[in-house]
Amino acid sequence: MRHLRILWTFIRRENIEPTNNRAERALRPAIIKRNLSFGVDSESGRQFLERMLSIIATSEQQNIDTYAYLQSTLTAQLTGKPTPMCTQEGYAMCITF
């Protein structure tokens, strides 16, 4: 009952989808890659793979060059600058380094 109002948000707001099909479809290629590669052997390897697949999926959704984003993120980390967000605005700011 606590979450009943939230469950019907898609009726009140036009830009909210009633299902998570888009998210499920976005995850499918990552799951297939993971299954074909026999996964990873360690917790740190699993975390790395999850994060990289998330960055790749997000950058594709935002129409951002994944390699350039990763390069700017690592450059920011090494130079002590703020890490850019994986959005068009964040990407536009990070490519000006």
Structure confidence by residue, pLDDT tens digits, 43-74: 888 888 888 888 888 888 888 888 988 898 88
Domain segments of the chain as ranges = 21-61, 64-97
Inter-residue contact 94 to 72 (CB < 8 Å)? yes
At 78, is the pLDDT very low, low, confident or very high (cuts 50, 70, 90)?
very high
Alpha helices in the chain (DSSP H): 4-7, 9-12, 21-36, 43-61, 66-79, 88-94
- Looking at residue 35, what DSSP letter applies? H
The percent of residues above 90 in pLDDT, for the chain, comes to 2
pLDDT on residue 44: 86
